[in-house]
Amino acid sequence: MRSAVLVLLISTGITGPIAGQADVRGRLGGRLPAAVVAALQQVVDSAIAKGLPAEPLIEKAVEGSAKGVEPARVLAAVRAVLGRLSQSAVSLRSAGVLRPDTDALEAGAFALNAGLSPDQVQTLAAQVRAPYALAPTLRVAATLAALGVPGNDAVRLVRDELDAGHAPGDVLDLPRRVQMGMAGGRSAGQAAGRAGGPAHPSPEPPHALPPGQGRPHKP
């Protein structure tokens, strides 16, 4: 079950329109005090003004209110999400991604929340080229960090896969391979050290036989 969750984290992003669904009062009215809802609307409006996605902010507020979290903590959590989205935008633009889409911004924010530094997000984003997609690649590194792989090791492992030209599917498979290593008793860092390379390496070619010695025929 956990593997399925990790695949979902890597391959999809919770995306939504940047404007369109930004009516905080309409979606949170009655769930939180009016003053908190008004403050949340200001946070969302600020995100929209910066070209950042609003939906993750609203979803965080809805999630907190549904769980009965104290309103002040809901507001603080939403502001923290905005901070990560803002930093994600800075890191991606510094990497040369001048117009990061919603999926990439959320993936960068996810990576920051998982423990990667802004510089690590920038470093990895700067290396992503076709046939690799930016958002899934960032999510791979983020998921590795969430599993306990140190940030530098997570970024290095993903970068090594990109440098080696391994198939995009092999890159997406890294967290599963790390999990398998951890299930065998290794630490996250140790498992990451053994997770590189193609997920399904080609079998070794048959050993050559000395001249004049053919393979025996079956009776």
State the DSSP string of 17-60.
Answer: -SSSS--HHHHHBTTB-HHHHHHHHHHHHHHHHTT--SHHHHHH
DSSP state of 107: H
Other residues' Cβ atoms within 10 Å of the Cβ of residue 59: 16
Residue 207 has phi, psi (to 5 degrees) of -65, 140
Report the DSSP beta bridge partners of residue 32. 29
- CA–CA distance from 9 to each of 83, 168, 191, 202, 210 (Å)? 20, 16, 20, 28, 52
Answer yes or no: is 203 within a domain.
no
Answer yes or no: is 47 within a domain.
yes
User: Using CA atoms, how far apart are residues 106 and 170, in angstroms rounded to an integer?
Assistant: 22
- What is residue 204's predicted lDDT score, i.e. its pLDDT? 42
Answer yes or no: is 52 within a domain.
yes
- What is residue 135's predicted lDDT score, i.e. its pLDDT? 97
Answer yes or no: is 205 within a domain.
no
- For the chain, how many structural domains are there in total? 1
Residue 90's domain comprises: 2-193
Answer yes or no: is 127 within a domain.
yes
Answer yes or no: is 75 within a domain.
yes
- CA–CA distance from 6 to each of 95, 170, 175 (Å)? 26, 15, 8
Answer yes or no: is 211 within a domain.
no
User: Do 136 and 12 contact (CB within 8 A), yes or no?
Assistant: no
- 136 CB-contact burial (10 Å; exposed 0-12 / middle 13-18 / buried 19+): buried
Answer yes or no: is 42 within a domain.
yes
User: Do 103 and 138 contact (CB within 8 A), yes or no?
Assistant: no
Whether residue 100 is preceded by a cis peptide bond, meaning omega within 30 degrees of 0, is no
DSSP helix/strand/coil, 117: coil
User: Using CA atoms, how far apart are residues 122 and 125, in angstroms rounded to an integer?
Assistant: 5
pLDDT tens, the chain, 219 aa long:
444 445 444 444 444 444 444 688 888 878 899 999 999 999 999 999 999 999 999 999 999 999 999 999 999 999 999 999 999 999 999 999 999 999 999 999 999 999 999 999 999 999 999 999 999 999 999 999 999 999 999 999 999 999 999 999 999 999 999 999 999 999 999 999 888 766 554 444 444 444 444 444 444
- What is residue 199's predicted lDDT score, i.e. its pLDDT? 58
